Amino acid sequence: MPGIRSGSDGERELQERYGTQDRAERFYEDQVRDRLNTHMIDFIRRMDMAFIATADKHGECDTSFRAGKPGFLHVIDEHTVAYPEFRGNGVMASLGNILENPHVGILLIDFVHDLIGLHINGSARIVDDALMRRYIDGLPEGERGRVIERWVVVDVEEAYIHCRKHIPHLVPASREPRQWGTDNVRAKGGDYFRTKEEARALVEY
């Protein structure tokens, strides 16, 4: 299947300014697709982490990290993927952005074996877990006491490779012991960046 017409107006303007149109067109033609092919689907099903990029209606951005057992990012079909949302810190930054602006970017990287990445860009919507399970078979369950509250369902608009040139080779370490499903501040990282400490100091000052 040929590549799709891709690239923002800004991309096109800079490609022209810096003379990279030919290289960009080859990339769009060879690598950018408007759906997932079988190799992309196989890749997604063995990934256990993803980086999620969103922006609100003003264009202010947020990037978040999601992880789970391989397959936690669930492929519904070649046009649709979904990932679960668990009880978190209550801020719901990514979900709030999606509510205002459905455009989302997902980056999956294999740091361990093939040292390659996959970009998925698309339009997202929020669906309650009970409703998802009514219509979609094979959804993963929560793990380690974590309850899935809702899903982010993404309609794929672009899917393309992230080259391996600068992807580091990492060796997985054991995730144990971890305290899953806890509100214990220390178990969740405490005040690692000392922000609470700073806020307290300002109040006392």
Both 24 and 41 in one domain: the answer is: no
- State residue 133 phi and psi, 5-degree precision: -70, -20
Both 90 and 129 in one domain: the answer is: yes
Both 23 and 44 in one domain: the answer is: no
- Domain span at residue 12? 1-29
Q: State the total domains in the chain.
A: 2
Both 17 and 47 in one domain: the answer is: no
Distance CA 112, CA 170 (A): 5
- State residue 82 phi and psi, 5-degree precision: -150, 145
**Each residue's pLDDT tens digit, 60-84:** 999 999 999 999 999 999 999 999 9
Both 18 and 48 in one domain: the answer is: no
Preceding omega of 102 cis (within 30 degrees of 0)? no
What pLDDT is attached to residue 3?
45
Tell me the CATH number at 79: 2.30.110.10
Both 19 and 112 in one domain: the answer is: no
Both 129 and 144 in one domain: the answer is: yes
Both 6 and 57 in one domain: the answer is: no
**Each residue's pLDDT tens digit, 33-49:** 999 999 999 999 999 99
Both 25 and 39 in one domain: the answer is: no
Distance CA 184, CA 188 (A): 6
Both 61 and 116 in one domain: the answer is: yes
